Amino acid sequence: MGERVREANIDIDVVVPVPSTARPAAISLAKTLGVNYEEGFVKQDYIGRTFIMPTQRSRQKALIRKLAPVSSVFKDKSVLLVDDSIVRGTVSKRVVTLARWAGAKRVYFASTYPPIRHPCLYGVDFPTQEQLIAFDKPLTKVAEEIDADGLFYNDVHALNTSVGTDDLCNACLTGVYPTETQGKEELQNLRQQDLAELEIAWKS
């Protein structure tokens, strides 16, 4: 991904991870680009992973409490934010907004995971394509929706290479599922029913 960012020929003053899973990638990317790495967000660890919360409202409310920007890291700088993935775009848009609020002059975004365009049928909380920000959208449109000045994704080959094996489930990236496609719709319906029950339980 470092080469992709370098080829874009953009000025970056600092690389900032979205805490905390993106730290290793952000450190490596900063070294590759030869720019500073800094921690730009204070995270409330008790909030947990927002993308697995059952409703959009609960995810947004949690995000408001979860992260706070460090103004000195962002003020008057061109910033590259790094996260492990972009699912619905809720977190991505929020951190871009926080970086701008803290004074960043330009905000770019890099995802170490390729575009997620297909539903997960095996338990991760995005069972329909319509929930996914990258579904049926070009990269420029995704960047626009998260309010970033530019967006960089890893690709499937680089992801597999970094893990050290091609024997991975890439179904949410490629649409090729490792199990039989027969019954896929039924499985998707069951997932949606489970999530509907979770949402009711969450509200009660």
3-class secondary structure, 119: coil
Provide the pLDDT for residue 54: 47
Provide the pLDDT for residue 50: 46
Which portions of the chain are predicted below pLDDT 50?
A: 47-54, 58
Provide the pLDDT for residue 52: 45
What are the boundaries of each domain within the chain?
A: 2-203
Residue linked to tokens 């170490």: 112
Token output for 68: 């706070």
> How far apart, in whole angstroms, are the C-alpha atoms of residue 93 and residue 97?
6
CB atoms within 10 A of CB 98: 21
> How far apart, in whole angstroms, are the C-alpha atoms of residue 40 and residue 79?
10
Provide the pLDDT for residue 57: 54
Task: Report yes or no on whether pTM surpasses 0.85.
Answer: no
DSSP string, 131-198: G-TTTT--HHHHHHHTT-SEEEE--HHHHHHHHT-S-S--HHHHS--SS-STTHHHHHHHHHHHHHHH
Provide the pLDDT for residue 119: 86
Q: CATH code for 2-203?
A: 3.40.50.2020
Reported as a single tens digit per residue, the pLDDT across 87-134 is 999 889 999 999 999 999 999 999 999 999 988 877 777 767 888 999
